[in-house]
Structure 1
Amino acid sequence: MKLKPIMKASLLSMALFGASFSANATIENPLVTSYLSTQTVIATQAAEQADTLVVVVPEGAAIQLAGWSTSTVEQVARIAEVAGFEGKMGQQETVNAPAGLGVTRLILVGVGDPAEAARTKVEDAGAALANMINNTKAETVQVNAELISNPVYNGRILAQLAHGVDLRNYRFDRYQSSPAARPAQTYHYHVTSRSHAEREFEAMQALAQGVFLARELTNLPGSAGYPAAFAEYARQALEPLGVNVTILTPEQVLEMGMGALYGVSQGSQHKAHLLIAHWEGSSEQPIALVGKGNTHDTGGYNLKTNAASIHRMPTDKAGGAAVVGAVAAIAGQRLEQNVVGVVPLSQNSISGEALLPGDVVTTGSGLTIEVANTDAEGRLILADGLWYVREHYNPRAIADIATLTGAKMTAVGTDFSAVFANNELVYETLAEAAETVNERVWRLPLDPRFERSISSRIADMKNTGSPGASAGAMLLQRFVGDTPWIHIDMAGNAQVDGPSGIHPAGATGYGVRMLTEWVKVYPKTAE
């Protein structure tokens, strides 16, 4: 069957959506409309002019930069001693700059032992630095790490620090009539070796762009981030990076027999789509990333009755956003990996055509699912997404990610995501990647005894069971066959109510950094 993807024609002209569009529904590139206003400069020479000097200090190092006078060194040493500043990781001290430095403020940032500094701790230090700088009138910030003489550690620490600054400074303000001014400083990073530093900075900046894209897509309200719009946003962001993007229309989804994916959206004016984003960085058998893209969830006829819960439902597409963001980061880093991202896109609404509790849908695999609860829609669309990628790409491993169950939050809260795996190598490498980027995971059981909880009297299975998180995983496992696979339930990790660490308030972009790192560490030829 030859599939005809949506091309670059304006979505406004597509009769499929009719009056659901308005004149102001133009799809804009999210990386352009929400990228940071702060600027990054990498150089082996100090900036000619700066109002703020940041000195990156290893633990126990004497704070003395080239060109500092004896009196300056002594004054800074006294200030550090009184403040108890020793260069330990996370320590930060702001002081009035001594006369003769040519700056108005001096900030000391501790990074501990550069050879052992955890990446996420340095990123957190960068986020804290950004927060501090944003509360000043600083315009040009000189960041000097010459106290770290090793060029590899020097470039790496500065790139990680800059990454933390960037992630904290993201803003989603497209709907504010008079948005607050965005951070607009120029950060001038003084490196000891440009060649070492540039590779580190480029990788981190590509990763940050992937996180920004995921945050943008997650933050979009349901009326703006519906399936066709989400897919078009992703296409605009990914194609310039060299990613091959295909978007299956609702008619194609239905024609291919993906009745579970189609069914979730059948009650909405915004019907189901399937987004496929393929980065062919190598000729190896691909790794597959599958993300839940339910662009808004009313719960269907099993209506969500909690106002706070339904208000958060634009984040129900965060798993799909994470996959798009990860593919963007992977392509931006030009990783030599073959990666295919698949995002089943739906909008779970109520109308006279919506799924009813007790209805039966037929998936692309031919298996049938009784819809015992219309609010358990994520596993329905993921079932078809998993089947599609296995059927059409024969991946060597699959990771799916989704805001799937409230039961997950009951089990492990929001500091971890819950994972279920049918393969030890997949689990171990994913857990390693998660630990590296501090998007931590906790394994829950995927045990045959839970099979009976999703048994149905009238279909091959039903879409609910107990315990909820494990039941959801058991259903999804039926659609991956013997492919090594891991399911990531990120319910509760998609957003924060207030700024915290590397996250401003709103969508976190959770999963982008973990999936990108996993693609890096997963063996090219799995055992």
Structure 2
Amino acid sequence: MTVMRSFAALLLAALMPLAAMAQYLETTTHFAPRGMPGTDSLVVLVPEGLSDVSLPGWGAETTAQVNRALQAAEFDGSARQRVEILAPAGLPYERLITLGVGNPGELERPVAEEIGAALSVHINGTRAKVIELNASLISDAGDNSRLSAAIAHGVDLRNYRFDQLKSQPDARPAQTYHWVVSSVGDAQRQYNMLRAVAEGVFTARELTNLPGSNGYPAAFAEYALQTLAPLGVEVTILGPEEVLEAGMGSLYGVSQGSQHKAHLLIAHWRGSDDQPIALVGKGNTFDTGGYDLKTTSSILLMQGDKSGGAAVVGAVKALAGQQAAVNVVGVVPLSQNSISGEAILPGDVLRAGDGTTIEIGSTDAEGRLILADGIWYARDRYNPSVIVDIATLTGAKTTALGTDYSAIFSDYPELVDSMKLAGQMTDELVWQLPLGPYRGIIDSRIADIQNTGSPGAQAGAVFLQHFAADTPWLHIDMASQALLSSARGIHPAGGTGHGVRLLTEWVKIYAGVQ
């Protein structure tokens, strides 16, 4: 294993101790066959179609009060319905909450997660500390475990906080969630798998949220090393000199105007002996646009330009945490696109690792420049069965699809279909856009190709396809999905960790280990 640590990278560790970085949640989750003493709040999961809601041990007075309240609120157990009863008669709880789960056999995982997220928001607005969540009204054992784990996962995802840079951070949610389920072992197993995904999402959010002066290339790489190596992931970090020695002039060029030069992070999880699956994520740690300077308020969000790379790190962490039987290599080219007397200029020509010369039509089309060398490196050094790259690449994608869908590009129908399935499973939806024919879209007069063209999203995809060569390949453009200005669904405000859940599920689907 080759690991290069720079002195600069250690500044991040000094700012945020590694023990603190690894502690993403203060809440705890337990599964048991029965309740526990000291509970102050009871949450009952209620399927649709029940004529009366009642649990063993409830007296007639309790049952009557609860069902009278539910009737008044027109509660019928539909998914997402919630009714709270304070000081329920005959019960030792401050509050009782009924939570509708609809038809348990038909309730999809993303909806269950959103139910959990909404519950956590409600609980955080109360003084509840110990919450029992009773799933005994869900009679099917498989649904009982599956939905309990998914709702608990939604609670976790919403309760993440990025507060390391605050001198006096607000108190984090710190409740104990005690689940009463029909099969403790099965529910715990499913939750553990989802908790590994959550840890990957938290890592991606953390990396995305880091400001440009904290999350620069060496610091990003060091963070990834510290979080992945303990899980058995082989981490290799190439520093600027090694990037140059490998011939990756396209990656190096983007950072040459910054004091924080280019790095390349490789994270290899060998969960099987199969031919590797390669994930390549854009890690532009801050994007000024270079000499094609960003002049709008969007520059304030440009720490999010490393979110594709963060998604790859998070997905590798999730798969390693699950001990998934897959061979996956994550490659993250890392840069900081800044302006100085050494920065690349519009019209300059760079040479990529595969020898391709690239005319710089815009210094603000830098993501494809670093991904070009990342894709080439993955293909050249690991001979993968498939390459998927992910990036906040183009504003044109946002114009075309908004923020509900990522754009995907590929000439391989099986890759498109499997990615769509992963998107449906995780609610990180994707929509295929065409690769062509767009004849001459990235032609250059003075070099082999140029890094701009129209239409913009397609030009970026066609550019990247060149470096995948004959390896099966798919490109994900997740522009405008990395950051939220306010909390929504399973996400608090800030970095979303978008792509982690999508890539984690897709790798397993593609590898046939679902």
Task: Classify the TM-score, shorter chain.
Answer: over 0.9
- Please show how residues 139-288 of structure 1 align to structure 2 within 5 Å: 139-288=129-278
Q: For 2:275 and 2:11, how far apart are their aligned partners in 1?
A: 43
Answer yes or no: is the 8 Å Cα contact 2:40–2:130 preserved in 1. Answer: yes
Q: CA deviation at 1:274?
A: 0.4
Given that 2:217 and 2:336 are in contact with CA atoms closer than 8 Å, whether structure 1 keeps it comes out as: yes
1:31 and 1:213 in contact (8 A); partners too: no
Structure 2 CA distance for aligned equivalents of residues 28 and 182 of structure 1: 18
Partners of 1:440 and 1:30 in 2: CA distance: 34
| Cα contact 1:30–1:237 (8 A) shared by 2 | no
Residue in structure 2 matched with residue 483 of structure 1 by the alignment? 471
- Counterpart contact for 2:3–2:235, Cα < 8 Å: no
Contact 2:12 2:214 in 1 (8 A): no
Q: How does 1:128-147 map to 2 (within 5 A)?
A: 128-147=118-137
Paired with 2:185 and 2:457, the residues of 1 have a C-alpha distance of 47
The equivalent of 1:369 in structure 2 is 358
What residue is the counterpart of 1:509 in the other structure? 497
Among 439, 443, 447, the alignment partner of 1:459 is: 447
Q: Which amino acid aligns with 1:456?
A: S
Letter in 2 for 1:409: T
CA distance in 2, matches of 1:165, 1:154: 17
210-219 or 187-196, larger mean C-alpha shift: 187-196
Matches within 5 A, 1:310-459: 310-449=299-438, 451-459=439-447
SS in structure 2 opposite 1:452? coil
Secondary structure at the counterpart of residue 448 of structure 1:
coil
Instruction: Report SS of the residue matched to 1:122.
Output: helix
1:494 is matched by which residue type in structure 2? Answer: A
Structure 1 residues 235, 394: closer, same or farther in 2, change over 3 A? same
Q: Whole-Å Cα distance in 2 between the matches of residues 43 and 350 of structure 1?
A: 57
CA contact (8 A) 1:279 1:327 kept: yes
Aligned partner of residue 95 in structure 1, secondary structure: strand
The 5-angstrom pairing of residues 67-78 of structure 1 reads: 67-78=57-68
Given that 1:293 and 1:346 are in contact with CA atoms closer than 8 Å, whether structure 2 keeps it comes out as: yes
Q: Which consecutive unaligned segments of at least 5 residues does structure 2 have? A: none
> How many percent of aligned residue pairs carry the same amino acid?
59
CA distance in 2, matches of 1:26, 1:117: 43
**Residues 1:23 and 1:160: Cα distance change in structure 2 (over 3 Å):** closer
The one-letter code matched in structure 2 to 1:222 is G
Equivalents in 1 of 2:495, 2:408: separation in Å?
21
Q: Residue 334 and residue 236 in structure 1: after superposition, are their counterparts in 2 closer, same or farther (change >3 A)?
A: same
Alignment-mate amino acid for residue 294 of structure 1 = N
In structure 2, the CA distance between the partners of 1:256 and 1:114, relative to structure 1 (3 Å rule), is same
Q: Deviations over 1:271-330 (max 9, x none)?
A: 000000000000011111110000000000111111x21100000000000000000001
Alpha-carbon spacing, 1:120–1:93, altered in 2? closer, same or farther (3 Å):
same
Select which of 77, 83, 86 maps to 1:87. 77
Q: Would the alpha carbon gap of residues 509 and 73 (structure 1) be closer, same or farther in structure 2, given more than 3 Å must change?
A: same
Deviation of 1:100 after TM superposition, in Å, equals 2.1
- What one-letter code is carried by the residue in structure 1 that aligns with 2:102? G
Which range moved further: 511-520 or 175-184?
175-184
1:24, distance to aligned residue in structure 2 (A): 7.8
> Deviation per CA, 1:173-217, whole angstroms, max 9, x where unpaired?
111121111101111111111121111110011010000000000
SS for the counterpart of 1:148 is coil
- Cα offset for 1:524? 4.6
**Change over 3 Å in CA distance of 1:21–1:109 after alignment to 2:** closer
Looking at structure 1, the residues matched to 179 and 156 of structure 2 have their Cα atoms a distance apart, in angstroms, of: 13
Q: Secondary structure at the match of 1:305?
A: coil
Query: CA–CA distance in 2 between the matches of 1:485 and 1:58?
Result: 43
Q: Which position in structure 2 is the counterpart of 1:498?
A: 486
Q: Per-residue deviation at 1:47?
A: 1.5
The one-letter code matched in structure 2 to 1:246 is: T
SS in 2 for 1:346: strand
Q: For the structure 1 residues 386 and 137, does the alpha-carbon distance in structure 2 shift closer, same or farther, using more than 3 Å as the test?
A: same
Q: CA 1:281 to 1:393, structure 2 compared with 1: closer, same or farther past 3 Å?
A: same
Which residue does 1:107 correspond to in 2?
97
Work out the CA distance in 2 between the residues paired with 1:46 and 1:22.
46
- Greater Cα shift, 69-78 or 159-168: 69-78
| Shift of residue 442, structure 1, vs aligned partner | 1.3
1:289 to 279, 283, 298: 279
CA distance in 2 between counterparts of 1:398 and 1:257 reads: 20
CA–CA separation in structure 1 for the residues paired with 2:221 and 2:12: 19
Secondary structure, in 3 states, of the residue corresponding to 2:354?
Answer: coil
8 Å contact 1:455–1:461 — kept in the other structure? yes
Task: Flag as ranges the 4+ runs of structure 1 deviating above 2 A.
Answer: 4-7, 20-34
RMSD of Structure 2 on Structure 1 (CA):
1.6
Query: Which letter maps to 1:183?
Result: P
How far 1:523 moved relative to its partner? 4.1
For 2:303, the aligned partner's letter is P
State the partner residue of 2:42: 53
> What's the secondary structure of 2:467's corresponding residue?
coil
Q: Normalization by structure 2: what TM-score? A: 0.97
Letter in 1 for 2:454: S
Going from structure 1 to structure 2, the CA distance change for 1:351 and 1:34 (only over 3 Å counts) comes to: farther
Give the TM-score taking structure 1 as reference length: 0.95
